[in-house]
Structure 1
Amino acid sequence: MYNIKLQAGLPEGTQFGNKAEIYFDTNPPIITNTAFTTLETYIPQAIPASYPVFQLHLFPNPTDDMLRIYVDRDADFYICGSLGERYLMGRLTVGENRLTVGNIPVGQYWLVVQAEGRQMSQPLTIVR
């Protein structure tokens, strides 16, 4: 672990150099190249708020056959694998929706929901 105590009054652009000695067992140390850090002052004007795009709840997760999905607006959905292959797609309506996923192989998937030009995704696990 590496840390420094900053001295007050350092000008912008001040550079700090550091290298390390890494020890493996009783062998001589391996000395790293010197890494440099430049002191810069950055004060953000605004930090954007992060809000969910819309309400999306799925349960039970993991599931073996019946998946219940709650959305607060009509939306399109698809369930895809890690390589993007789609297994099931359709339309969700406001409130609770029930999907049968028993024909999808056991594994890890993504439920992707799209509404009003925006998209949310949640991991989904199918078990037997």
Structure 2
Amino acid sequence: MSDPAHPDRCQEQLMVPPAAEDVAVLGSDGEQLAALFAAALHGLALLRSSSASAAELEAAIEGSTGLLERLEAVRDASLRQPAAKYTSHADLAKAMHLESRATAQSRRRTLLRKPAGELERWATGSAG
């Protein structure tokens, strides 16, 4: 298709430009996330081309898992932040793509019962 607005239009480069302030705060963690995101995208491309070797699939699994773990940590650390306690359970359910506010309430309650893990501390910049 030659329509430039078409979502399947091929691009030579995919750009995800973070704000300069974000780059300064994230430092090498931003580069690490970008590398994991790139690995996940490469895995997706391999799956769609049906040309992946076992080693390539293993690398895609590893990159996707690392990215998912860090994204979950960002979500969980966000839920722990003091400002999040003022967010309604209905709004949390919407943000977490859940059908029920009770499910959001239960998930937050379960999270708050356990201490923050290493990746959550990484997300807040307090990992040692």
Calculate the TM-score normalised by the size of structure 2.
0.19
Name which one, 1 or 2, has greater alpha-carbon Rg.
1
Name the one with the larger strand percent. Answer: 1
Name the one with the larger helix percent. Answer: 2
